[in-house]
Amino acid sequence: MALLLRTLVRQGRTLTKLQSLRQHCLVQPTCLISTSKKNEDTSTAVQPVQKKSEELKKLEEHFANTDLEADKNWVSYGYETADPQLDYFAHHVTMFLAITVCICWGSFILAYMPDYKLRSWCQREAYLELERREREGLPLVSPDYVDPSKINLPSDEEFAGEEIIV
């Protein structure tokens, strides 16, 4: 409990130090107001404004049209550069085939395809063997699975006084 109180007091001291630093302004506030004399004179163009060129007229006409459905404002998906409807159709068919058919159905087929490399044959073989042994009334695991004559066990004299844990 005392440790908790000491920790709280130390944090309180740290917070008061931070608050005292925040109260003092380190940068002088400034107002960017011009106090220079205002000139009421305005400048005038000496040369007359030239007439608009044909290119400028075409550009103004082009950018004045903000209709998104207009052919000039069409941006191609990159499949067909001349026909907007064919470009739209080609893009959506390509995306449908790539995403839905290839990725979704391809993943489904890969996940559920048969075990052609026989990676889990041992488990299937074990189930078949267990079923055969149950049908014939044999024990599930034979006590003579390994021939006892091939096993070299130490004699009882070598184990004299040793604890054997099975």
- pLDDT, greater one: 89 or 27: 89
pLDDT at 68: 66
11-42 residue pLDDT tens: 766 666 666 655 556 677 777 777 777 666 66
Name the residue among 72, 54, 74 with its Cα closest to residue 64: 72
What's the confidence (pLDDT) of residue 132?
96
Closest CA to 70 of 55, 79, 78, 61: 61
Q: Is there a contact between 133 and 139 (Cβ–Cβ < 8 Å)?
A: yes
In the structure, what pLDDT confidence band is assigned to residue 162 with cuts at 50, 70 and 90? confident
Taking all residues of the chain, what is their mean pLDDT, rounded to a whole number?
81
Q: Taking residues 83-99, report their average pLDDT.
A: 93
* pLDDT tens per residue, range 42-54: 666 667 667 778 8
Asked whether the beta carbons of 102 and 114 are under 8 A apart, the reply is: no
Three-state SS across the chain?
CHHHHHHHHHHHHHHHHHHHHHHCCCCCCCCCCCCCCCCCCCCCCCCCCCCCCHHHHHHHHHHHCCCCCCHHHCCCCCCCCCCHHHHHHHHHHHHHHHHHHHHHHHHHHHHHCCCCCCCCHHHHHHHHHHHHHHHHCCCCCCCCCCCHHHCCCCCCCCCCCCCCCC
Query: What was the pLDDT predicted at 165?
Result: 83
Structure tokens at 156: 């009882």
Q: What percent of the chain has pLDDT over 70?
A: 75
What pLDDT sits at residue 159?
Answer: 80
pLDDT > 80? residue 137: yes
pLDDT of the residue at 46: 67
pLDDT band at 166 (very low <50, low <70, confident <90, very high): confident
Give pLDDT, residue 96: 93
Contact 73, 65 (CB under 8 A): yes
pLDDT at 30: 74
Residue of 95, 92, 114 whose CA lies nearest to 104: 95
